[in-house]
Chain A
Amino acid sequence: MAKTPVDEHPQKVYGWAATDSSGILSPFHFSRRDNGDEDVTIKILYCGVCHSDLHTAKNEWGFTFYPVVPGHEIVGVVTKTGKNVTKFKDGDRVGVGVIVGSCKSCECCQQDLENYCPKFVFTYNSLYHDGTKTYGGYSDMIVVDQHYVLRFPDNLPSDSGAPLLCAGITVYSPMKYYGITEPGKHLGVAGLGGLGHVAVKLAKAFGLKVTVISTSPNKETEAIDRLGADSFLLSTDAAKIKAALGTMDYIIDTVSGIHPLGPLLGLLKVNGKLITVGLPGKPLELPILPLALGRKLVGGSDIGGMKETQEMLDFCGKHNITADIELIKMDYINTAMERMAKSDVRYRFVIDVANSISK
């Protein structure tokens, strides 16, 4: 007979889970494996609330296996290490991001691109190597293979650093891969939410000129005064859009709602690159003629490998880049999800797990 979430592993764990596509989260008792030779056990301090958590809780992508414990922006403290673990010791401050496993032998894994391994394992809602389901960071502890654990730089705060583990790497990786790091070049950031606001901060640290492209006029002051963007383009302002045609070297599109790509392509210079990191639930409209006439491209990018994620954290530590967060208690999570669905957050909720998750 199949074991229940509480029985299947020896260590008892407490968290919050969604049990159906209403996406409503509630207390949930489950279990995790013993700490193996390669493993690190982490007491969770904080967990960021990523928009993917909401998509998954509501089964918007169609592959949720309930019950699901979301959370893949996890920061905590090491409480136990396996005998083969050399990189970490008890008391270290560490992070866990979007993946907790991969095959470790394919071409992608060998190139530190575990995120593109066909057999990668998500931190939640995935099947681990032992055939059991993975549960994420809306919980009091987690056991992870050392390869997928990240060292948190000393000067990076645990709470506002947590969202970097997904939002941060999601925009950092394409910036490196597609060459969006050259000082003086012009980057457009479409969408000013969890991903977008971190993209602005990273881009300014790279010395780029940044224009935020948004449908919300009330984000303009914030974008320029607080986040440091050089300009703000309201996508519904036809005259301003026309004046901006052909002015951007790159655009990072963080928008996960359905939107046509034509207008964004028009903003690019010839040879411009449109990098899409948002996850719309349906295909987007792509006009081909402007793509061909301008030798433009649309590229995808999905988080980053472990090596690059560590590099990103270290870069953020060096440049004092953190997310703008609203710290919440565990039992506020359902309200937080509703607010996030309406983009009513500047710019990431972070759950104060250690201080508010109680049995």
Chain B
Amino acid sequence: MSKSPEEEHPRTAFGWAARDKSGHLSPFHFSRRETGEKDVRFKVLYCGICHSDLHAIKNEWGSTIYPVVPGHEIVGVVTEVGSKVLKFKIGDKVGIGCLVGACHSCDNCANDLENYCTKVIFTYGGAKYHDGTVTYGGYSDTMVAEEHYIVRIPDNIPLDACAPLLCAGITVYSPLRTYFDKPGFNVGVVGLGGLGHAAVKFAKAMGIKVTVISTSPNKKKEAIDHLGTDSFLVSTDQEKMQAAMGTLDGIIDTVSAVHPLLPLIFLLKSHGKLIMVGAPDKPLELPVFPLLLGRKIVAGSCIGGMKETQEMIDFAAEHNITADIEVIPADYVNTAMERLAKADVKYRFVIDVGNTLKSSN
């Protein structure tokens, strides 16, 4: 008979989980494995709320195994290290993002692209670890993971505001570096939420010229004055969109709702690239003619490998890039999810796990 979440591992853990597709989160007692020889165990201090958490708790992608403890923007302080751990010691500030395992033998793993390994193990959500047990995420008091998947957080970066970089940050950093980090490049960022605002900050730090493309005219001032974008296009303003046709070398599309791609493809210069990092749950319509006539590309990108994730955090620390966050107590999480569904947050909620996630709740 299979063991209950509380019994399956030797070390007790406490978190908040969703138990069905209503997505309602509530206190949940479970357990985690012993600290293995390659493992790092840490006390969780903060965990960012990613839109993927919302998709997962409501089973919008159809792959959730309940009960699910979400959270893959996790930061904290090391409490134990296994005997073979070389890079970390007790007291170090560390984080975990979306991955906690991969095969380590395929081409992708060999190229530091664990995120594209076909046997990748996500931090939560329907993933089974090597030992066959379900993985649980960072809305919890402790985390344990192999050293390979632990990210070092530099001292000068505030822990709470850096948590969202572990998913949102790497999700936009990776395609910016891979496709658009060239002198004089002009890149559009579609959608100004958790991913979008991080994309603007990283792009500006890389010296890329940025245009934010949004359906909300009221985000313009913020985008220009606070985030530093060079220009702002309201996507429903046909005249401005037409005037901007053929001006962008690339676009990072962070929007996770269904939306038309044709206007975005028209904004691209010939040979331009539209990189999708948002994940709408239904297919989009791809107009083929404009793609052909300009030899343009629509590509997907999904987070980044461990090496690139560390590089991204170090880059963020060097350039003082953090997410814009609203820190919340653990018991606010259901309200936060409702607000997140309405995009009512500037721009990421972060749960103050260390101070407010208590098993007596």
Contact = CB atoms under 8 A, between A and B. Distances in A.
B293 A302 contact: yes
B286 A298 contact: yes
Contacts of A291: 276, 298-300
Contacts of B291: 276, 298-300
Contacts of B108: 270-271
A295 B287 contact: no
Nearest to B297: A299
Interface residues of A, number: 36
B118 interface: yes
Nearest to B276: A288
Interface stretch (A151-159, A179-187, A279-287, A314-322): A279-287
A286 B283 CA distance: 5
Interface residues of B, number: 37
Contact of A302 (B246, B284, B295, B301): B295
Contact of B283 (A288, A293, A295): A288
B283 A260 contact: yes
Contact of B288 (A118, A262, A300): A300
B292 A279 contact: yes
A292 B300 contact: yes
A262 B283 contact: yes
Contacts, number: 112
Given A276-B292, A289-B279, A294 B300 contact: yes
Contact of A270 (B118, B283, B289, B298): B118
Given A291-B276, A295-B300, A283 B286 contact: yes
Contacts of B284: 285-288
SS class, residues of chain A in contact with chain B: mixed
Contacts of B279: 288-289, 292
B61 interface: yes
A287 B302 CA distance: 14
Q: Could you say which of B113, B118, B277, B283 has the most chain A C-beta atoms within 10 Å of its C-beta?
A: B283
A300 B295 contact: yes
B278 interface: yes
A270 B296 CA distance: 20
Contact of A279 (B118, B280, B289): B289
B286 A299 contact: no
A297 interface: yes
A300 B116 contact: no
Q: Could you say which of B246, B262, B291 has the most chain A C-beta atoms within 10 Å of its C-beta?
A: B291
Contacts of B278: 288
Interface in A9-49: none
A301 B61 contact: no
Interface in A112-140: 113, 116, 118
Interface in B297-352: 297-302
Contact of A261 (B113, B261, B280, B286): B286
Contact of A288 (B262, B271, B280): B280
Interface of B: 61, 108, 113, 116, 118, 246, 261-262, 270-271, 276-302
Interface of A: 108, 113, 116, 118, 177, 246, 260-262, 270-271, 276-280, 283-302
